[in-house]
Amino acid sequence: MVLLILPAGCPAPATLSEVGSPPPAADVGGSATETRAPLPEVNPNDPRLQLLARAEKIVEAEHPRAVLVEARGTSADGTATTADDILTWRFLFTGDSETPGATTVVLEYAAGEFGEPELLTQRLVGTMHERLPRTMTLTTAIQFLRDAGHDDPFSQVVLRKPLTFPVPDEAFYIFTVGEQAVFVGTETGKVNVE
């Protein structure tokens, strides 16, 4: 679960029911689809991976010890079927890698432009304070989602490594599909449903 206390007037991040926690093992209340083939090679020029890199550069210019730990994307009309439909992003950083969770830096991206980084003294909880991986593109995650039979549009996607026990071995693209949170592992390609 992500808990970020924001000052008045600042839009709140999604709630647990919108992004969920990683699902239990596949045989306990969820389903899993094993990867049938190795993950495709990651194109470093992928537009969403480039966006992550640009967000890091912007924030690190003002907060050199900040670490990007979560990226939350939505479409203009609330439904998406492809990576190109995700036009608005909120990037969350732990403000100081030497004191993880003490502060949070939020960077918004909308209409093709980044806002100004905002340093908050509120803690970001429920997310591992580890740099987001570049092991899978959003396009590939959507393909795994579709291959697992989830053909409906999604309203949101979050890339993060949830802080749970036991700690997961990988970060996830977490898609909100209707009332479900569907997790796609960035290292394994496994698809789990909460």
In a domain, 5, yes or no: no
In a domain, 125, yes or no: yes
pTM for the predicted model, two decimal places: 0.79
Of all residues in the chain, the percent with pLDDT exceeding 70 is 78
Q: What is the pLDDT of residues 33-88, one digit of tens each?
A: 444 456 888 888 899 999 999 999 999 999 999 999 999 999 989 899 999 999 99
Q: What is the pLDDT of residues 123-136, one digit of tens each?
A: 777 777 888 989 99
In a domain, 55, yes or no: yes
**Rounded Cα distance, 25 and 123, in Å:** 29
In a domain, 6, yes or no: no
**Rounded Cα distance, 173 and 85, in Å:** 15
In a domain, 9, yes or no: no
Arithmetic mean of pLDDT over the chain = 81
HSE-CB of 164 using CA atoms within 13 angstroms: 18
Higher pLDDT, 32 or 18: 32
Q: What is the pLDDT of residues 166-192, one digit of tens each?
A: 767 899 999 999 999 999 999 999 999
Burial of 25 (0-12, 13-18, 19+ CB in 10 A): exposed
Place of tokens 């969920």: 20
Tell me the residue range of the domain where 88 lies.
31-193
In a domain, 161, yes or no: yes
- When divided into structural domains, the chain yields a total of 1
In a domain, 16, yes or no: no
Q: What is the pLDDT of residue 162?
A: 85
In a domain, 88, yes or no: yes
CB proximity list for 76: less than 8 A, separation 6 or greater: 85, 87, 88
Q: What is the pLDDT of residue 22?
A: 52
